Structure 1
């Protein structure tokens, strides 16, 4: 028997309401300044047959305030801490491996669902290690240009499923980021399920309903 590991990230969990030996796994990832409770707040709306895990970013910003990497907003645009972003990418991958010794789930059915910076990390993890991720739901995120040089080749990416949702009036991560990501993914012969809304930087009921319907179809 494999000994249990201390997971790379702090997390909270909802076990499947519909029991199975190897349920699919859905990992929720919050945005800057959030924590593992944010996206877990709508866990009851998520499909009953999934093991749902909500992870906390490793960077502490303040009381109950965390991030996956720090970012500075300048006149020339946002500047990320690349070292932290890469460290978090690796920590998420290690976290998935650690979970295998703690929770029971189908290793071929691992999904990431991230809002804002959590969406950024979903892209970074899945596009570099697509064999380990079945699909990602990116909500109000962006694809870091820094990750593009290490994105897997088309043959490795072809099975990856991608959902994108973004508000057209997003004042934090502009809507153009979603369009740019879609164009880049299509250049890699991926066909993301794309949804746009007349919203700011948020998850509204329509967005949540659309992502749940997408998850159920996988």
Structure 2
């Protein structure tokens, strides 16, 4: 595998996989506490996969090297996008999906989830995946390479449910970019459940509760 990962399961022989992509400068450990707050017992045993993004120089941060799914040139996130980095990381994340299928988890019981940069990678990868996934979760992020989505998305995930959430006071990924992304996806016919919360670039308890309810809905028992 190109990506190093952390993994945890809620029991033997998991029938659901949730792949969680962290944000800029974090690593796979970042969302382990969030996963620990989810109660998905009705859907069966779950395998959580927390990959570490590659270490690369990030232009916005003065060229400092850190874990990042792609480079960021400025806070105008939808401008001057690192298409090369985005597409390489998409292949790496798709490989994680493929591995879960090889391990015996049905694609339609795999959820791809991400925060900030991880949200961008979730939407980029999930909409282009050849397998029909259970759902996509985009937290505090946006739709990258938006102009190419219509021509590059696969029919397999044209009806895959999407959960998007954002902080109303987010100073990093402006809330407007989140709503623009939501509206672009809906205009393409995607089912998007949208939530916003009185927080900054973070995750809150109400959001986790809403996410838990949505996951139980899309991860129907085998």
TM-score band, normalised by the shorter chain?
A: 0.7 to 0.9
How far apart are residue 133 of structure 1 and its match? 2.4
- Root mean square deviation, CA, Å: 2.5
How far apart are residue 147 of structure 1 and its match? 4.1
Match status 1:55 vs 2:47: no
How far apart are the structure 2 equivalents of 1:157 and 1:26? 16
Q: Find the partner of 1:24 among 13, 16, 20.
A: 16
**SS in structure 2 at match of 1:210:** helix
**SS in structure 2 at match of 1:108:** helix
**SS in structure 2 at match of 1:138:** strand
Question: Is the Cα–Cα contact under 8 Å of residues 59 and 69 in structure 1 kept in the other structure?
Answer: no
How far apart are residue 66 of structure 1 and its match? 0.8
Question: Is the Cα–Cα contact under 8 Å of residues 132 and 157 in structure 2 kept in the other structure?
Answer: no
Evaluate the alpha carbon distance shift between residue 136 and residue 27 of structure 1 in structure 2; reply closer, same or farther with a 3 A threshold. same
Structure 1: 5+ residue runs without aligned partners? 1-6
Evaluate the alpha carbon distance shift between residue 149 and residue 188 of structure 1 in structure 2; reply closer, same or farther with a 3 A threshold. closer
Moved more, 159-168 or 57-66: 57-66
What is residue 9 of structure 1 aligned with on the other side? Answer: 3
Evaluate the alpha carbon distance shift between residue 187 and residue 41 of structure 1 in structure 2; reply closer, same or farther with a 3 A threshold. same
Question: Is the Cα–Cα contact under 8 Å of residues 134 and 159 in structure 1 kept in the other structure?
Answer: no
**SS in structure 1 at match of 2:18:** strand
What is residue 181 of structure 1 aligned with on the other side? Answer: 181
What is residue 39 of structure 1 aligned with on the other side? Answer: 31
What is residue 4 of structure 1 aligned with on the other side? Answer: none
TM-score calculated relative to the size of structure 2: 0.83
Evaluate the alpha carbon distance shift between residue 95 and residue 64 of structure 1 in structure 2; reply closer, same or farther with a 3 A threshold. farther
Question: Is the Cα–Cα contact under 8 Å of residues 8 and 95 in structure 1 kept in the other structure?
Answer: no
Aligned length: 208
Equivalent residues in 2 for 1:12-161 (5 A)?
A: 12-17=6-11, 19=12, 21=13, 23-46=15-38, 47-48=40-41, 49-60=45-56, 65-73=66-74, 78-101=79-102, 103-129=103-129, 131-144=131-144, 145=146, 147-148=148-149, 150-152=151-153, 155-161=155-161
What is residue 213 of structure 2 aligned with on the other side? Answer: 213
How far apart are the structure 2 equivalents of 1:68 and 1:92? 10
Structure 2: 5+ residue runs without aligned partners? 59-63
Question: Is the Cα–Cα contact under 8 Å of residues 20 and 112 in structure 2 kept in the other structure?
Answer: yes
Which whole-Å deviations, capped at 9, do the CAs of 1:57-110 have from their partners, x for residues lacking one? 123459994110010116797533211111000111112223445x44223211
